Structure formats: structure tokens, C-alpha cells
Amino acid sequence: MSFSIAGKTAIVTGAANGVGLAIGRHFVEKGANVVFADMDEKTLCHQMGEEAEKEENVRIFSGDLRKKLTVANLLSATVDAFDRVDILVNASRQVMTTDPLDPDDTSVEELLQQNTMTALRVTQAVARRMIKQAEGQDDQSIGSIVNISSIAARRTHPDLLAYSVSSAALDQMTRSMAVAFASHGIRVNAVAFGSVMSASLKGSLKDHEEVREAIVDNTPLHRIASPGEVSDAVQYLASDAAAFVTGQIITVDGGRTLIDPAAVSAH
């Protein structure tokens, strides 16, 4: 089986910065047609506007994907540009802190809406399109959906309650959709990552060397991942090389979820 995604059409949400942007650019480099989607129009245009004008296989789309009309417009724009959609990468995600004792704290509801429900609605719309465009074909695999999750789904930090809950919900949605879509030839998987040296993390660590050291100390491979290492895992799941892989959460964290942080600090 081939790891190639050349010629396939992918939608990548949350593509204005961070991991989403890295995945989109990686896909373009590998020859895929890519629609970069994000609600941050200014950043999206700054990052990809010039390439969208010059490259035939790049398009940008801005809008709030929490709205049904925006989801429909994204799908229409993709089909208008490239006639089909083969891959969806749900990388739109937000992190915010939670006060577990505050009954007025709305972070859980907000992140479930942003990180889980948005991925669910986009997945449903794209899956329907994949099924429609495959009518009359004999292909066993007609599409791949990859959700970008986090090891926060399995690790506990009270201040990140909402992020953890929304990540765990996304993981379970991945498994449920994998079973629901299997008979249609659509595979659904996720990549859960730990700390990735994105521009935002690099900026936040600039004056907090102790935080960087804590991350490294709690990672068996003793370093922070590059965005490209997440992109490679996503490409694998999107390619025919993973044709018999569905409902899986691939962890890209350098082994961080395998150890007890308390044991590390004790040493």
C-alpha cells in the first residue's frame, strides 16, 4: 500500500496556525489539493493568501464552522474548486482554563461546542459528500477522516477540565463514527499529541524555561515534537497505507502518557 496522498483533495480545519497549518502545508508539499479553513480570516490570509493565489492546489476558506451554513459553504467551495473531497482533517481546536468550583464557568460547554460538536458537524457533511461521490464505484475505501485530539483526554489537570472533557469526547466520537461509517468505506481515526513546538508554544516558552524543562523531563524521548511529526502521522492515516485502520487514536507524545509525572518529580 502507498503512503501517497498526491492528487487527493483534503479539507483541513483550524488551518490558520499551529498544527492545522503544519498539516495543511505538509499535504500541499505531498501533492494533495488542500482547502485551508479557519475562522481567523486575517491570520489565514497572512499565512496562505499568497500561496492560494499562486498555487492551483491551494484554497483558503474563512468562517465560523460552528454554524451549519458555514459548513455547507465550506463543502461547496471545496467541490467547486476540486470536484470532490477525499480527506477531512478536523484540526480546529481551542484551549481554555476551567475553574472546577465555579458553577458559572461555561468553559466545558464552550469547548464541547468548539472542539467536539464542530468536528461532528463537519464530519457528517463531508461523509455524506464522500458517499454521494462514490455512488457506482467499487472502491472499498472512499474517504478518510482524521480528528486532531490531545493526550489531555487521558491525563488529568483540574485547570484544563473543559479541554480534557472535549478531547475525550472527540476520541469517543472517532470510535463511534468509525463503526457507523465502516460499511460506506469511510475510515475515521484520530491523532492525539502531547507538546508540539508550534509558534504559539515557542512563544509561551520563551520566558519560561522551567516549563520547557518540565515537559522534556516528563517525556521519555526527552524532547518536544516538531509539527511535522504530527503531520506524518496524519498523512499515514489519510493514505491507502492505513486502508485497514479505523477507529484508532494514534498517540504522538514521545511516550509522555506512559509515565507517572509524580515518579519523575520524585527523582
Digit-coded pLDDT (tens) for 118-134: 999 999 999 999 999 98
Residue 96, domain member (yes or no): yes
Residue 2 lies in a domain: no
**56 is in which domain, residue-wise?**
9-254
Out of 57-61, 114-118, 133-137, 219-223, pick the least confident: 219-223
Residue 230 lies in a domain: yes
pLDDT at residue number 222: 62
pLDDT > 70: percent of the chain: 86
Residue 266 pLDDT class (50, 70, 90 cuts): very low
The burial of 164, by beta-carbon neighbours within 10 Å (0-12 exposed, 13-18 middle, 19 or more buried), is given as: buried
Dump pLDDT digits (tens) for 50-67.
888 899 999 999 999 999
Return d(Cα 111, Cα 21) in angstroms, integer: 20
Overall number of domains in the chain: 1
Q: Which residue has the higher pLDDT, 30 or 202?
A: 30
Of 251, 126, 117, nearest to 186 (Cα)? 126
Q: Is 44 exposed, middle or buried (0-12, 13-18, 19+ CB in 10 A)?
A: buried
Asked, for residue 24, whether it belongs to a domain, the answer is yes
Strands of the chain (E only): list them: 9-13, 33-38, 58-62, 87-90, 143-150, 186-193, 249-252
Handedness of CA 201, 237, 248, 92 (dihedral sign): positive
The per-residue pLDDT of the chain, averaged, comes to 88
10: pLDDT strictly greater than 50: yes
**pLDDT at residue number 265:** 47
Least confident range from 7-11, 136-140, 154-158: namely: 136-140
265 within some domain: no
Residue type, 107: S
Banded model confidence at residue 70, pLDDT cuts 50, 70, 90 = very high
First to last CA, the chain: 45
Q: pLDDT digit string (tens) for 176-204?
A: 999 999 999 999 999 998 766 655 555 55
- Give the tens place of pLDDT for each residue, 233-265: 999 999 999 999 999 999 988 777 777 665 544
In this structure, what CATH number is given to the domain that contains residue 136? 3.40.50.720
Least confident of 18-22, 68-72, 143-147, 157-161: 157-161
pLDDT at site 257: 77
The Cβ of residue 118 has, within 10 Å, a number of other Cβ atoms equal to 24
185, three cell numbers: 468505506
Cα gap 94→88, rounded to integer Å: 18
In a domain, 259, yes or no: no
Residue with cell 473543559: 162
Alpha-carbon gap, residue 67 to 243, rounded angstroms: 32
| Rounded Cα–Cα distance for residues 139 and 156 (Å) | 42
> Could you tell me what percent of the chain has a pLDDT over 90?
67
Do 220 and 259 form a contact (C-beta atoms < 8 A)? yes
Residue 73 has pLDDT above 80, yes or no: yes
Task: Tell whether 139 is covered by a domain.
Answer: yes
Q: Is residue 263 part of a domain?
A: no
Does residue 221 carry a pLDDT above 90? Answer: no
